[in-house]
């Protein structure tokens, strides 16, 4: 799975599906238009979940943007890496996340979700944001382009990594978030580790199909999509080595259980 590509050439149907969902930035602009101005940001302190890893709570970007429907709890079995496929030269991470919320909860036929799809966002400066409501408190179900097969916790990089790599700061934070989530939900992240589960339904893995995935996987392994970008996706499963090193460095620290509660 290291190259994150199908072992056989994709069918015409698969190519059409991939083309239809490979340009979310264009669709986002078309759906939202100019949008409404974001109110001034309230002063919301980040939550330190582990030494060297602080997360800005949802209220830091969306105190006035509550979920539009119920969000179920999840039983996490693996971690899935995404990108927003939006320009890398964004002016303000908070504004970009708010725009993502508006798109994800819009009447776009491929969206219409109750909230932003991802549990956590990571900006180019290494800033980490709680995404879907409740993700800091415990595991919640995600949504995804192409349908959600379930069982994952989603971490999304702000930007487009089709032809460039995420910044060093973003990659460092990604490793820390993955390590924290893996520890929190007891996910095996030794290099090459896999997990099997029954899909809840995506256009790649229909409901009822048995899926085997690396425990740190790119979105394209679960749906016919280019996410999280051709430049970065092949490296995602290999992050396990760095994640394991971070978990070892944090070994014995119990701060998350005291601060946030363990579901």
Assigned token pair, 256: 């998350």
Question: Could you give all domains of the chain from N- to C-terminal order, each with its CATH number?
Answer: 70-256 (3.40.80.10)
Sheet holding 152-157, edge to edge: 128-130, 120-122, 152-157, 78-83, 216-218
| DSSP code at position 190 | S
Residue 180 neighbours by CB under 8 Å, 6+ apart: 49, 50, 53, 250, 256
Q: What is the pLDDT along the chain (263 residues), one digit of tens a residue?
A: 333 333 344 443 443 334 434 445 444 544 444 444 556 666 899 999 999 999 999 999 999 999 999 999 999 999 999 999 999 999 999 999 999 999 999 998 889 999 999 999 999 999 999 999 999 999 999 999 899 999 999 999 999 999 999 999 999 999 999 999 999 999 999 999 999 999 999 999 999 999 999 999 999 999 999 999 999 999 999 999 999 999 999 998 866 543 444 33
Spatial distance between the Cα atoms of 99 and 116, rounded to a whole number of angstroms: 10
Is the distance from CB of 74 to CB of 141 less than 8 angstroms? yes
pTM: 0.85
Assigned token pair, 223: 């749906």
């Amino acid at each position: 799975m290291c190259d994150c590509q199908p072992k056989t050439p994709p069918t015409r149907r698969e190519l059409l599906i991939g083309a239809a969902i490979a340009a979310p930035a264009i669709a986002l602009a078309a759906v939202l238009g100019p949008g409404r101005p974001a109110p001034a940001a309230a002063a919301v302190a980040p939550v330190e979940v582990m030494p060297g890893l602080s997360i800005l709570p949802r209220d830091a970007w969306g105190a006035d943007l509550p979920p539009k429907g119920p969000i179920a709890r999840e039983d996490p079995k693996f971690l899935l890496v995404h990108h927003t496929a939006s320009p890398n030269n964004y002016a303000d991470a908070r504004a970009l996340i708010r725009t993502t919320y508006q798109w994800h909860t819009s009447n776009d036929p491929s969206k219409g979700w109750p909230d932003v799809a991802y549990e956590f966002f990571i900006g180019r400066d290494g800033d980490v944001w709680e995404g879907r409501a409740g993700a800091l408190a415990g595991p919640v179900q995600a949504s995804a382009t192409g349908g959600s097969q379930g069982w994952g916790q989603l971490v999304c990089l702000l930007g487009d990594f089709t032809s460039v790599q995420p910044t060093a700061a973003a990659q460092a934070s990604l490793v820390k978030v993955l390590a924290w989530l893996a520890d929190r939900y007891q996910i095996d992240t030794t290099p090459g580790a896999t997990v099997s589960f029954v899909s809840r339904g995506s256009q790649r893995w229909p409901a009822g199909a048995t899926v085997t995935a690396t425990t740190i996987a790119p979105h394209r392994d679960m749906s016919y999509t280019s996410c999280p970008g051709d430049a970065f996706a092949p490296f995602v499963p290999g992050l396990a080595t760095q994640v394991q090193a971070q978990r070892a460095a944090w070994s014995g620290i119990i701060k998350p259980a005291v601060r946030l509660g363990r579901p």
